[in-house]
């Protein structure tokens, strides 16, 4: 009579479809997902009961019970956690509001094939819905702590679900799976035990299997103590990994695991992981951290802003401390001095571990750097206290090395007479390596660092120096290459000084205000021209970024540098004094400017005029 039918949100329908047609071999993970949810529900109730003890009507301890009925092919998972209200049942099990599943959907966006999708389930875990891999239908019965009502949710996973009012005495949730005949192995006690041990041993609550014989005690299948409280030497890497999957909502392998107990002014345990893969939401604007805070084994929050800085948001895991009052409100944590102390200790620990890895296992470190380097670099700009330490672990690609280099490496390889750390910034190293600005540096064997992350544009100006050496963009100001000694032989340059000055002046006259200045270049060897920014102006790449994001309206005038050794420029030298060739000279000047712009990824000054000039000169060339 109270029964109501609801349709699944469209995305849920899609997931259920994939789950149902899944060819996925490790269906067993459905049990991990259900136990993980049950455990989270217990954590939530324990926390809620701190401020309202009446919520804990179950005087007993938290527990998760499994019951398998082979005859009726029913598998039941029962917890005495926080439970769900009617609205929560509809919201949590009928829509995609949550983490793991959402990550899965994000990844699906670009992938259509069923098989690809199925194989992805293993990497993500699709939470509650994974139970449909083994079930013909599922009923969830739940009573929310503090409520007198209880509700059931039932679905065969094919488009809709039903909600009904029920009678249920105890608070918590019961998930009842009607196991499909082909999956009846999951009703087998040994099989269940193996699966629980494999995936859920770290779960802090006891997970027990109801005995099929009367009078026999239920068997607890897992270790049932918080993993982080155990001795390091008693924890296997698989156990760490499974805990990481549970706590981090991630299904890759941890790249680094940090498990420490700090005792001193403040005591805490940290069990932290750095993932191998970049999570899909790493660059979300909220830059949310991924650490859970526990106080004396009690879960407090997974949203404690002051616990770890945004630039370490790729770190997942837990902190458990004895030094915060259990009754602390989540709001009060913001300015808590203990949290602040833990934060600064955690930053130091993570950075120093990264440094060790960077020095001892550079190839492994390169994988980390590829995934998270751009995020870590935000810290150079944001964390003044730890800036130098972060800079020490930063790695870069450069014009002289295929491998990542550190700033120390760079400085130690600087040439005699070289006073600055040269860099060039842009979107990717391939484009940068072709940049005309690099030519003179390459010819002299002077290393130039490639800065390819947008964040580089922000920390570079604020840092300014490393090891007393200024950072200098090679697309800005004079290159002053002649002061630096080279160990490569360079070609002897003959300069036609008399005419070159006239040439430079004439190009400037032709281009007028389109350029700030025209100069001869000592950074070009192969290209005819390039654009550079004035010494005091903004770096060209930064200017481009800001313009793209509508942060600035106009760009500053650029300097056009001309390579006097280029054959085309030499030809121009021949006609610069000839009034009859003025039109040709002017057209050539504009084409050179437009060419320099194109190389910079900028539009030409006037596409129509550009085409006309080009045609005129081409015709001349062909006509010759």
| Residues binding ligand ADP (CB under 6 A) | 33, 37-38, 41, 79, 81-84, 92-93, 98-101, 127-128, 173
CB of 97 to Mg ion, least distance (A): 11
Using the minimum distance from each CB to Mg ion, give the nearer residue, 247 or 312. Answer: 247
First CA to last CA across the chain, in angstroms? 95
Helix (H) / strand (E) element for 456: namely helix 456-463
Report the 10 Å Cβ neighbour count for 228. Answer: 25
Q: Strand, coil or helix: what is 65? A: strand
Give the one entry of ligand ADP, Mg ion, none that residue 41 binds, where binding means its C-beta sits below a cut-off of 5 to 8 angstroms depending on kind.
Answer: ligand ADP
Q: Strand, coil or helix: what is 129? A: helix
* DSSP assignment string, 512-577: GGGEEEEEE-SS-SSSSEEEEB-TTSPPHHHHHHHHHTTS-S----EEEEE-TTSHHHHHHHHHTT
Distance CA 526, CA 436 (A): 8
Stretch that binds Mg ion, among 33-41, 178-186, 336-344, 432-440 (CB under 5 A): 33-41
Give the one entry of Mg ion, ligand ADP, none that residue 270 binds, where binding means its C-beta sits below a cut-off of 5 to 8 angstroms depending on kind.
Answer: none
Using the minimum distance from each CB to ligand ADP, give the nearer residue, 38 or 75. Answer: 38
Give the one entry of Mg ion, ligand ADP, none that residue 279 binds, where binding means its C-beta sits below a cut-off of 5 to 8 angstroms depending on kind.
Answer: none
Give the one entry of Mg ion, ligand ADP, none that residue 38 binds, where binding means its C-beta sits below a cut-off of 5 to 8 angstroms depending on kind.
Answer: ligand ADP
Give the one entry of Mg ion, ligand ADP, none that residue 532 binds, where binding means its C-beta sits below a cut-off of 5 to 8 angstroms depending on kind.
Answer: none
- The answer for residues whose C-beta is within 8 angstroms of residue 236's C-beta and 6 or more apart is none
Give the CA dihedral 98, 99, 103, 109, nearest 10 degrees.
20
Residue 100 contacts residue 125 (beta carbons within 8 Å): yes
For residue 453, the 8-state DSSP code is S
Give the one entry of Mg ion, ligand ADP, none that residue 101 binds, where binding means its C-beta sits below a cut-off of 5 to 8 angstroms depending on kind.
Answer: ligand ADP
Using the minimum distance from each CB to ligand ADP, give the nearer residue, 56 or 345. Answer: 56
Stretch that binds Mg ion, among 127-135, 204-212, 297-305, 590-598 (CB under 5 A): 127-135
CB of 36 to ligand ADP, least distance (A): 6
CB of 40 to Mg ion, least distance (A): 7
Report the 10 Å Cβ neighbour count for 570. Answer: 15
Of 30, 67, 32, 74, whose CA–CA distance to 184 is shortest? 74
CB of 101 to ligand ADP, least distance (A): 5
CB of 33 to Mg ion, least distance (A): 5
Q: State which residue has the least CB distance to Mg ion.
A: 127
Give the one entry of ligand ADP, Mg ion, none that residue 173 binds, where binding means its C-beta sits below a cut-off of 5 to 8 angstroms depending on kind.
Answer: ligand ADP
Edge-to-edge order in the sheet of strand 150-155: 4-7, 160-166, 150-155, 135-143, 172-179, 74-79, 64-69, 207-209, 219-220
CB of 256 to ligand ADP, least distance (A): 24
Using the minimum distance from each CB to Mg ion, give the nearer residue, 127 or 254. Answer: 127
CB of 127 to Mg ion, least distance (A): 4
By CB under 5 A, tell whether 37 contacts Mg ion: yes
Using the minimum distance from each CB to ligand ADP, give the nearer residue, 83 or 157. Answer: 83
Distance CA 360, CA 509 (A): 58
CB of 249 to Mg ion, least distance (A): 8
**How many whole angstroms from its chain centre is CA 134?**
33
CB of 83 to ligand ADP, least distance (A): 6
Residue 276 contacts residue 253 (beta carbons within 8 Å): yes
Q: State which residue has the least CB distance to ligand ADP.
A: 127
Distances from the Cα of 475 to the Cαs of 405, 435, 436, 448, in angstroms?
A: 21, 10, 10, 11
Q: How many residues bind Mg ion (CB under 5 A)?
A: 3
Using the minimum distance from each CB to ligand ADP, give the nearer residue, 28 or 33. Answer: 33
CB of 57 to ligand ADP, least distance (A): 16
> Could you say which of 127, 172, 248, 254 contacts Mg ion (CB under 5 A)?
127
Q: Strand, coil or helix: what is 412? A: helix
- The answer for residues whose C-beta is within 8 angstroms of residue 64's C-beta and 6 or more apart is 35, 38, 39, 42, 77, 78, 79, 203, 205, 206, 207, 208
Give the one entry of ligand ADP, Mg ion, none that residue 355 binds, where binding means its C-beta sits below a cut-off of 5 to 8 angstroms depending on kind.
Answer: none
Applying CB under 5 A, the residues found at the interface with Mg ion are 36-37, 127
């Amino acid at each position: 009579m109270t029964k109501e039918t609801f349709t699944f949100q469209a995305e849920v329908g899609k997931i259920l479809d994939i789950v149902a047609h899944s060819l996925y071999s490790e269906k067993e993970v459905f049990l991990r997902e259900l136990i993980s949810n049950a455990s989270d529900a217990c954590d939530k109730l324990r926390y809620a009961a701190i401020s309202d003890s009446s919520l804990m009507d179950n005087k007993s301890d938290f527990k998760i019970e499994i019951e398998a009925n082979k005859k009726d092919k029913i598998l039941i998972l029962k917890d005495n956690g926080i439970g769900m209200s009617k609205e929560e049942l509809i919201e949590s099990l009928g829509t995609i509001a949550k983490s793991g599943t959402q990550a899965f959907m994000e990844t699906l966006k670009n992938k259509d094939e069923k098989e690809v999708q199925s194989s992805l389930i293993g990497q993500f875990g699709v939470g509650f819905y994974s139970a449909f891999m083994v079930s013909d239908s599922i009923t969830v019965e739940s009573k929310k702590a503090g409520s007198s009502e209880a509700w059931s949710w039932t679905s065969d996973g094919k488009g809709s679900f039903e909600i009904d009012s029920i009678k249920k005495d105890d608070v918590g949730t019961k998930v009842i799976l009607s196991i499909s005949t082909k999956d009846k192995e999951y009703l087998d006690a040994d099989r269940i035990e193996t699966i629980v041990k494999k995936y859920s041993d770290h779960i802090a609550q006891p997970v027990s299997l109801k005995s099929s014989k009367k009078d026999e005690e239920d068997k607890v299948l897992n270790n049932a103590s918080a993993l982080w409280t155990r001795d390091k030497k008693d924890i296997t890497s698989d156990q760490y990994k499974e805990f990481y999957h549970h706590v981090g909502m991630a299904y890759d392998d941890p790249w680094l695991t940090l498990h420490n107990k700090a005792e001193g002014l403040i005591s805490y345990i940290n069990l932290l992981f750095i993932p191998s893969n970049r999570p899909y939401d790493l660059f979300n604007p909220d830059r949310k951290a991924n650490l859970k805070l526990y106080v004396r084994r009690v879960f407090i929050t997974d949203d404690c802003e002051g616990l770890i800085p945004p630039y370490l948001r790729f770190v997942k895991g837990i902190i458990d401390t004895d030094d915060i009052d259990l009754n602390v409100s989540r709001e009060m944590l913001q300015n808590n001095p203990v949290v602040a102390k833990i934060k600064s200790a955690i930053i130091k620990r993570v950075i120093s571990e990264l440094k060790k890895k960077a020095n001892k296992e550079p190839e492994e470190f390169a994988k980390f750097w590829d995934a998270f380097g751009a995020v870590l670099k935000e810290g150079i700009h944001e964390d003044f206290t730890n800036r130098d330490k972060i800079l020490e672990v930063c790695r870069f690609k450069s014009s002289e090395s295929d491998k990542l280099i550190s700033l120390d490496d760079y400085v130690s390889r600087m040439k005699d007479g070289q006073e600055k750390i040269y860099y060039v910034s842009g979107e990717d190293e391939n484009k940068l390596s072709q940049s005309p600005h690099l030519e003179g540096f390459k010819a002299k064997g002077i290393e130039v660092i490639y800065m390819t992350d947008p964040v580089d544009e922000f920390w570079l100006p604020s840092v300014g120096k490393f090891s007393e050496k200024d950072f200098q963009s090679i697309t800005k100001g004079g290159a002053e290459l002649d002061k630096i000694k080279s160990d490569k032989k360079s070609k002897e340059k003959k300069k036609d000084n008399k005419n070159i000055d006239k040439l430079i002046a004439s190009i400037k006259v032709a281009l007028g205000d389109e350029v700030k200045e025209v100069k001869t270049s000592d950074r070009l060897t192969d290209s005819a021209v390039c654009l550079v920014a004035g010494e005091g102006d903004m770096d060209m790449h930064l200017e481009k970024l800001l313009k793209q994001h509508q942060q600035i309206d106009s760009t500053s005038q650029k300097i056009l540098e001309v390579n006097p050794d280029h054959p085309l420029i030499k030809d121009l030298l021949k006609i610069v004094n000839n009034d009859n060739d003025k039109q040709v000279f002017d057209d050539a000047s504009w084409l050179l400017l437009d060419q320099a712009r194109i190389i910079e990824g900028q539009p030409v000054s006037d596409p129509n005029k550009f085409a006309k000039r080009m045609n005129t000169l081409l015709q001349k060339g062909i006509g010759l």
